[in-house]
Amino acid sequence: MALEIREVSEANNLPLDKAFSRLAAEWLGYQLDDSQFIDGANDKGIDFWFQSDVGFDIFQAKTHLPDSTGELDLQSFDKEGVTDLQRARGFLLNPPTEIKNQQLKAFSHRWDHAIESRRGTDEGEPLKVNLGLVVLGDGLTPGALQDFESFEKSLEQEVEIRGVRVEFGVSLHTVNTLLERKWREENRTWKDISGTKKNTIDLYPEGPDEALVKNNTAVFYSRCYDLVKAYQSFGYQLFEPNVRCNITVSKVNAAIRDSVQSRVTREEFRFLNNGVTIVCKAYSRPSANKPYFRVTEPGVVNGLQTVFALQEAYQKLSNADKEHFEKHCYVLVRLLQEQSVRDLSRMVRATNTQYQRR
């Protein structure tokens, strides 16, 4: 990680903190252009941002200065990052009449347009704003973490900006979470994140007798949480049939993420999504003692963005909502053994092309 930060710094003539912002955005799954990074003075607590149909993801990235040997300092961070998130929110609530930073000015125009386009409409859901703090270290000091949690709690109630409902949330990303994401993108082996050899996942249907099973294929509503766990364990190895897959945060991702934020749409998710297609070496059917499909060497060939977005959304839920998600959020799964498909590579190409056009 340190080497990559230095390479970006040298290649783009950027200080280490700005180079980290670029890499942090990439590691978090965003493909941003230079206009979405706010450099220089008067950034109002915003380092980079992303807009989707449902709202904005706004980030502040923090690094320590390297020590005398040039090594990166990965110690915990104080409350400065939390203060920056508060500054960013204050800017959105009350933008100044004059903005000197040109990149921030361009972002402010996007924000104003998002607010104005919703004024006077019957938009059912509030505009969502996620304030993310990314730290190149092992986390926050105890005092800073307490400030972060207090800030998070203060955001529980949505606010109104120029007649538009806005819902704020916060997220924290440490060097460990970044490394985990990086591992998931690079993993191409049947080992889980702990390094243990494993090549199976378990998918719980809504009811063991409700799955349609015929000719080495099965169709059923599966717990979304099972797909979340599968991605957490294996990362991109789960998408191995799509050897060229490259999943980034997108408007589709944001829409899926938004669908599981509330309990009502979470329970209706099965009807809001096209489902997931998985090929595998083999699977065993549910039984009285084993109420799940045990799937050997699964490969998601359609629905990659769904799996990725579900995992992203799950991480941002409260503990109570995570429990509700685990019990009540289902998605349609089409499970096929490899021998049931005459030309697997053709099916992969066809479904992958369909996925790219969404």
The whole-number mean pLDDT for each consecutive block of 10 residues of the chain, a chain of 358 residues, reads: 80 87 89 90 93 91 76 88 96 92 95 92 82 94 96 93 92 91 88 91 89 92 96 90 66 76 88 92 92 95 90 85 94 90 61 46
The pLDDT assigned to 225 comes to 97
245-263: b (≥16 Cβ within 10 Å) or e: bebebbebbbbbbbbbbee
- Bridge partners (DSSP) of residue 160 are 165
- DSSP E strands in the chain: the ranges are 48-51, 55-62, 127-135, 159-161, 164-173, 200-203, 212-214, 217-223, 276-280, 282-284, 293-296, 299-302, 330-337
The residue among 275, 326, 322 whose CA lies nearest residue 301 is 275
The pLDDT assigned to 357 comes to 38
Q: Which is it for strands 127-135 and 55-62: parallel, antiparallel or unpaired?
A: parallel
Provide the 8-state DSSP code for 61. Answer: E
Positive or negative: CA dihedral 175, 85, 63, 38:
positive
At 81, which amino acid appears? G
What whole-number distance in Å separates Cα of residue 13 and Cα of residue 237? 35
Helix 16-27 × helix 175-186 angle, to 10°: 50
The pLDDT assigned to 170 comes to 92
Q: Tell me the domain boundaries of the chain.
A: 2-178, 189-356
The pLDDT assigned to 349 comes to 58
